[in-house]
Structure 1
């Protein structure tokens, strides 16, 4: 087994410290009885280790000490401090703060556990503290320090051999980590997640990322951590790799005998488990072992042998055993952990460590800010950083390596590109030509893909780590965008550059999309609350908005086609509220009330403060579903979310009226009727509604004989009418004035004192309003005195006589359904050879 220079350096330092400590025991404590120096437990440990090695030495102090480790030897000296020389005691005191660190590092060296980044420097610091006062007392330590200073490569000729107890862990074949040189550091969050996932319910955990991102390293670190975890559940740890190439500064070297098929990979695992060289059916053999024993199987570099046989194997894993996979390509059947590049400070730290450990003087001489600049240019890829340091060490100039990293890109990306479908490659080309993050709706438009097609393509690109996925908050929803990673872009530009015709095609499609966005934005500016106007938040909504405009166009011709376009828009932009708002409109017009309300509800969830969404949902609840309470809340929310708007105010007033809150109706309607900026159609509707509310409120007050309040309400109606220009009056306005005139006369008769007096005054003022325009003088007020429902006619009684009426003469035919004897109506009186007749009839007290 080959070891890194770091591990060998640590071994040399530990061995020197242990040798000097044993000599101190022999020289300064050798006169004491052996049983007083070494405990019975230590003697047993030493003899057991001696027996395991097959040594037949005499059991004297010297031979026993040779099989004690650092902690045991140190303990002997510490227990006899009063017998030691001053220099020895001082040296022991100096390294006391390092005791726990030395023990931990020795354990990592002796049992082939992953080294930490500071292990070698910690041991050297401890050694220097030990010899600080008198180096001649610690000759072996001084000698090793000198040799490390003059010729650090001497450690490469050493063989690690330290007295140690058997490694009481499950059977394993874990290799020496590839990060042994520098130790493992950083990525603690991902490491915790991997270990948690392995301990969880998922049988397969994959570690995904670009080539050279550090997947193998973190998989090994997780496996070694679990190996030493007293709570771990596995009986065996099996490591198998399909790594086929090695990157050097000069070339990509193929590994002789590398596994090239999934069957070969599983066969290698079977060999490790059984110890048998050839097994006819390795899949069944491994599954049987994994059923009878709890095995953690680690499959490294899986993308080189990925096929259906391997997927089938992973789907058949028995309960209790687990598999860790490292791959550049996701399997789709696992719990994936995506490995991101190192943080900038971690990259700089790795570069520094490699330069120091390999003694690359050109890099060691750089300032820290230069180191950080170099590290940042390598985008957090450990393999890139190691390759770069190895290249400088081999004599290449740093700028030459950074300027021509084609070899590295080919190593990291080439064996992944071949897995991509034609659609995925087309999506890559669009991202290559048009830089910057784009959501799936934009990419679908650029490539003329459906939502399903672009989603399949993006899934391929994500699982192969060609694209980076980012999410940003857009209102109350998340909008996901996709962008080529730096490595991917560099690889594509060097190996798969886009042709001029392809570039022009994407530029043209992008311009079309931009023009569509300008057109949609202009519509929303002109009519922000029109149901046919589609709001866009940014360029990512343009394509979905275009589909929704088509859906609105199709409403009257083909509801199913319109709904299909809404669904497509929703799939392309799941967080885009207009997809659901327009669906609500389509379903509402198709009389699918429950479906419309569900769609509007989803739109409000995505955009709870968007005025248009709140308005249209409120409008549907109020005028279709008949839920004025909830409708009023939504409409008032819409009002708060935008500047004064006549449509919203009108619907708020109508909601108050439906709730029989006539006072609020009068206030809101009157403000809208008198507004200088409201359209005249909104003013007319508001005026009529205000008068309806005044009449309804007066009737309520009369019913409870509260004539003072009735007169006060009447006054508000008269004041409004006198304030308004008669151009805002409609036929219904005139009818409502007649109704108020009739109520004022009724109040004058029923009231006493002030109410009666004021009612007569208001009656006179209302007459003045009616007389201000001759068009108002023809309408008449009458009450139903006879009604023949089965025959569809009846009679009105008014001061000028009795008038016949027929159902066909109602302005709103549905008024007939509510008509009862005693109801007040307005109409146009006329005469015929059969007598007086009424036409243009309006029921006034319908509610």
Structure 2
């Protein structure tokens, strides 16, 4: 006899004994005083009971057989009638009944579940047995039948097989729903917990065509499906179904002896169709079955679908769901066909209760003595899996210690997960291994980076994996975003470690990629802290955007090398990870503009601004693009003003809008912006040089425009002199760089060329002195110097400066600015030339004789030098200070 059958029959015998004793109490204490059944004190009850009696006893007068009528009362009616007629009971009997009324009331739904073959609930057995165990022969109500039944069961549990229970009205309320639902296999302990799952699954079945319960083997999918199906049957008039068909494709079961095959279940598509056909009347033709499902409102339940899942089965479900509702239990989902409900393990309290219920029913003293904390710990090691818990108790019953059982879970793991793993594609296994090798919870984007699959391929494989129970996911809240992270459950982790270990080289390769990612992100963060307007300064709000940023960083590196195809491929990968990440469009636009694809670049900038219309970096780069690539000065000025309004004291925004004003020939506005920046911000040497360089250019442009129209010559000359004055100030402060020297030289040349003849005598000596005094700076711009001296000679008919033309000394020279380290004790520095920097040792500086001279060097000071080499590569040699 199975444990389930034994449990149900034991409950039936005990509850039936209580019911007989209560009816005997009515016959003994109440019916002798009545000639009718008015003591029911309920007209509807009188009518219902009389109808039952007359149905079984046609032509018999019930008034002459009152005691026989009592047999047709329901369980709940017996103690309710006794309670309503307390005046006919002894005082102690009435008080005893009152004290036990709630317990009898709680026993009623248990009686109904037992007698109507409905799934038992957790605690049904223990509650009933505890109540019956308290009954004594000395109680005011005579419990002779109940106590006798209890004693016989305790002496011989098989006694229940000899009992026959009345069927006169237990099943009289026949449901309108036809079904072939099996007896619940959890009746030994009753259905424990899952109240939220029951409620949610019931709603899903009633509102969706195809619903699946997904979970590990043994997690309780079948039990939940049976419980919900019976609940739907018991909805009676409100039940939307006329027929519920149960089919099972379960092929194995886990016992204390190991995994055993089941030979009476469906094994393929043909078996499924045959099973359904037999249930509805013997037809094996698909068309007839579909017509039947279309005619009757049907709920079709397919248990353990993963064992027969094939394209034929999927096609059948796809077609059948247009005719009926379908509930599936499976370890592997159907994807787009279903509305899934993932089933997790029991709670700690529910798991411990399950162990106690089984141990109590089986009288396992070893487990009954264990404290709650130990039971929770055992449950945790069994993954809070109901089947695993039952398997554990059964195995302990064979004499194996709990510790040994916990440490030998091979059969359990095989039973629960082998079918799932063996059906995975190669790509899904690779992605699964990537998650495993990460040794932590990781995002979709991290999986993409570490697995080296295309984003769309990763999503496809994740969907395949998530239809199983091998991986789990959870949503973590961030700052205004939700992020999905993936991980391997402990259950799956133990299974995979034992059956499919990962090669150590794969793990090492994964760790290496993770380190590369971390290094790249640190570089991005460093650049962002240094200058938010740097091309490589990428901001991100979550893990997915962080990985996208790493791809964008790699894209910019490829772009710098001229590999635009690879660069745009990296941008595409970043975009697939997060299409709403604005940096994707900024970097993509920059690379396309560099490549010469200006129209596509502009589209990307505009897409980025749709996502982040106020982002200063996007506004900045789009304004630059409009100004320098499309030469759309008006458009550039619109966006430059927006970013300048956000950050008026940042050098990049100030220089940007100043240059826009310069291009628009609004020179005074440009000068005002740069002067405001100098006054409000303590600029570093580099930005201070840029500020003066810009001002020199703007003053020269004003001077040029005034001299061109010759309306205010003196004012024009005055602006040139202002530009020269600023340059000499910078020379005194040793903050000149090559571009500043060039702007100064251009200013000298422009003034000479545009100066009216009437002013030549006045400015001859001034310009001659300016050229001579700053010859070393002008000498850096070889081509300009020659033009300056030739133009001076022609304009002033003065050949005295021809002796300055000597280009040999600087033809092989590079020009840059010193970048000092923070440590003044270091005997080296670096020289910045555009985007490149060169190592410069103290002994290679021509003008540095000692430590005192070395310490006087300024950060940003202009130098010329020759390229040389040392043991680490290129460096600066023959370094001359300016």
Among 151, 171, 181, the residue aligned to 1:174: 181
Cα distance between partner residues in 1 of 2:51 and 2:328: 39
**Alignment gaps of 5+ in structure 1:** 688-725, 747-759, 783-794, 802-826, 837-847
Partner of residue 23, structure 2: 22
Aligned to 1:112: 117
Residue aligning to 1:841: none
1:565 aligns with 2:567: no
Q: In structure 1, what is the Cα distance between the partners aligned to 2:522 and 2:612?
A: 25
Aligned length: 732
1:480 paired residue among 480, 484, 508:
484
Cross-structure match for 1:256: 263
Q: Does the alignment pair 1:451 with 2:460?
A: no
1:63 equivalent in structure 2: 68
Q: Write the deviation string for residues 526-554 of structure 1: whole angstroms up to 9, x where unpaired.
A: 65532245457788777644532443356
Give the conservation status (yes or no) of the 8 Å contact 2:700–2:720. no
Structure 1 residue 365, shift from structure 2 partner? 0.7
Match of 1:732 in 2: 698
Partner residue in 2 for 1:715:
none
**1:267 corresponds to which residue?**
274
**1:345 aligned to 334, 343, 349, which one?**
349
Cα distance per residue 1:200-240 (max 9 Å; x no partner): 2x321111111111111222222222222343311111111
In structure 1, what is the Cα distance between the partners aligned to 2:162 and 2:659?
93
**1:240 maps to what in 2?**
247
Q: Deviations over 1:674-703 (max 9, x none)?
A: 466535564466x5xxxxxxxxxxxxxxxx
Change (3 A) 1:684 1:520: closer
Partner of residue 713, structure 1: none
Cα distance in 2 for partners of 1:352, 1:459 equals: 38
User: What's the secondary structure of 2:346's corresponding residue?
Assistant: coil
Superposed displacement of residue 518, structure 1? 5.7
Shift of 1:398: 0.6
Compare 240-249 and 92-101 and name the one that shifted more. 92-101
Distance 1:65 1:437, change over 3 A: same
Residue 23 of structure 1: how far off its partner (Å): 0.7
**Aligned pair partner of 1:366 in 366, 370, 381:** 370
* 2:206 is the alignment partner of 1:205: no
Shift of the 225–650 alpha-carbon distance from structure 1 to 2, 3 Å rule, reads: farther
Q: Which of the numbers 216, 227, 230 marks the counterpart of 1:221? A: 227
User: 2:187 & 2:666 partners in 1: Cα distance?
Assistant: 78
**Aligned CA distance change for structure 1 residues 132 and 738 (closer, same or farther; 3 Å):** farther
The equivalent residue for 1:596 is 604
How far off its partner does 1:490 sit?
1.4
Partner of 1:94: 99
SS at match of 1:470: strand
Separation of aligned partners in 1, 2:349 and 2:665: 67
Q: Say whether the 8 Å CA contact 1:328–1:465 is kept in structure 2.
A: yes
1:626 and 2:592 matched: no
Return the alpha-carbon distance in structure 2 between the equivalents of residues 445 and 451 of structure 1. Answer: 9
Alignment of 1:428-467 (within 5 A): 428-467=432-471
Question: Is 1:376–2:380 an aligned residue pair?
Answer: yes
8 Å CA contact 1:205, 1:337 repeated in 2: yes
Structure-2 change in CA distance of 1:44 and 1:447 (3 Å): same
Q: Tell me how far 1:360 sits from its aligned partner.
A: 1.9
Please, which of 300, 305, 309 is the counterpart of residue 306 of structure 1?
309
Gaps of 5+ in 2: 729-743, 761-787, 798-882
Please, which of 128, 132, 144 is the counterpart of residue 139 of structure 1? 144
- Check 1:765–1:832 CA distance in 2 against 1; reply closer, same or farther (3 A cut): closer
Aligned with 2:612: secondary structure? helix
Query: What pairs with 1:37-76 in structure 2 (closer than 5 Å)?
Result: 37=39, 41-42=44-45, 45-46=48-49, 49=52, 59=62, 60-76=65-81
CA contact (8 A) 1:741 1:766 kept: no
Distance in 1 (alpha carbons) for counterparts of 2:577 and 2:293: 43
Distance 2:699 2:90 in 1: 116
- 1:423 match: secondary structure: helix
User: Secondary structure of the equivalent of 2:211?
Assistant: strand
Aligned to 1:13: 14
Aligned match of 1:492: 496
Q: Give the drift of 1:62.
A: 2.6
CA-to-aligned-CA distance 1:312-333 (integer Å, 9 cap, x gap): 1111125462000111111121
Does residue 419 in structure 1 map to residue 423 in structure 2? yes
Moved more, 455-464 or 119-128: 119-128
Q: 1:209, 1:338 within 8 Å by CA — same for their partners in 2?
A: yes
Contact conserved, 2:703 with 2:719, CA < 8 A, in 1?
no
**RMSD in angstroms over aligned alpha carbons?**
4.7
Q: Deviations over 1:11-37 (max 9, x none)?
A: 233212211111111111222113434
- In the alignment, is residue 582 of structure 1 matched against residue 556 of structure 2? no
Q: Quote the residue 1:646 is aligned against.
A: 651
Cα contact 1:621–1:631 (8 A) shared by 2:
no
The question of whether the paired residues in 1 share the 8 Å contact of 2:220 and 2:386 is answered with: yes
Cα offsets for 1:423-450 (capped at 9, x unmatched): 2222333333442223344334444322
CA distance in 1, matches of 2:250, 2:494: 23
Distance in 2 between the 1:226 and 1:576 partners? 47
Deviates more, 1:211-220 or 1:163-172: 163-172
The answer to whether the 8 Å contact 2:118/2:230 transfers is: yes
**Structure 2 CA distance for partners of 1:729 and 1:12, relative to 1, 3 Å:** same
Q: Is the 8 A contact 1:219 1:326 kept in 2?
A: yes
Q: Which residue of 2 aligns with 1:186?
A: 193
1:344 and 1:618 map into 2 onto residues whose CA distance is 60
Q: After TM superposition, give the deviation of residue 135 of structure 1 in Å.
A: 5.1
User: Residue 320 of structure 2: SS of its match in structure 1?
Assistant: coil
Q: CA deviation at 1:43?
A: 5.6
- Match for residue 288 of structure 2 among 281, 285, 290: 285
How many Å apart are 1:341 and its aligned residue?
2.2
Aligned-residue offset at 1:242: 0.5
Distance 2:700 2:297 in 1: 89
| Counterpart position of 1:33 | 35
Question: Is this contact kept in 1: 2:586–2:605, CA < 8 A?
Answer: no
Q: TM-score, normalised by structure 2?
A: 0.71
SS of alignment partner, residue 730 of structure 1: helix
Question: Is the 8 Å Cα contact of residues 135 and 147 (structure 2) preserved in structure 1?
Answer: no
Match of 1:355 among 353, 359, 377: 359
**Partner SS state of residue 125, structure 2:** helix
Going from structure 1 to structure 2, the CA distance change for 1:541 and 1:728 (only over 3 Å counts) comes to closer
Q: Output one character per residue of 1:548-606: Cα deviation in whole Å (capped at 9) or x when no partner.
A: 2443356586766644432222224567654344234345663236632454146639x
Tell me the CA shift for residue 255 of structure 1: 1.0
SS in structure 1 at match of 2:218: coil
Shift, 1:480, TM fit: 2.9
Instruction: Render the CA deviation track for 1:441-480: whole Å, top value 9, x for unaligned.
Output: 4334444322233222222221121111233345444433
- For residues 342 and 209 of structure 1, the distance between their equivalents in structure 2, rounded to whole angstroms, comes to 12
Q: CA deviation at 1:404?
A: 0.7
Specify whether residues 112 and 548 from structure 1 end up closer, same or farther in structure 2 by C-alpha distance, changes over 3 A only: same
How far the C-alpha of 1:728 sits from its partner, in A, is 7.0
Deviation at residue 350 of structure 1 after TM alignment: 2.4
Asked whether the 8 Å contact 2:623–2:635 carries over to 1, the reply is no
Mean alpha-carbon deviation: is it higher for 98-107 or for 172-181?
98-107
